[in-house]
Amino acid sequence: MKVFIGVLALAVAIAHAAPASQNEAEAPIVQQVSDIQPDGSFSYAFETGNGIKVEDQGTIKLVRVPKTDDTGRTIGEDEVPVSVQTGSFQYTAPDGQVYTLKYIADENGFQPQADHLPVAPSA
């Protein structure tokens, strides 16, 4: 669920960065690659004529989680498959500033990193 929310946040960010004018909204794809493997791993990247660049790679990894009975008592561990995605996107804002965001989305949720993102104050 956390990965879904992270990918949804990424999609909203890209949509928000989309240009307002009709001509810019029709920017051509100038480069595109995609690779999907039988084990569930994948990678893709594309670049548009207006400077948007996106890269994403994904794998499946097994993560140990506590196994509980009906009362909530821990009775061992299970291994569950977790989707892990890493990537980045870049776009030019209307003011001409180029923004780049790198991220990882895994069992710990969506973790973006970018110079323009706010940072929580240290305790």
Place of tokens 């991220």: 103
pLDDT per residue, tens digit, the chain (123 aa), is 555 455 445 554 555 555 555 455 688 999 999 999 999 899 999 999 999 999 999 999 999 988 889 998 988 899 999 999 999 999 999 999 999 999 999 999 999 999 989 988 887
Cα–Cα distance between 102 and 37 in angstroms, integer? 23
pLDDT at site 61: 93
Tell me, what's the pLDDT at 122?
A: 86
pLDDT value for 8: 46
What pTM did the predictor assign? 0.68
Backbone angles phi, psi at 15, to 5 degrees: -65, -40
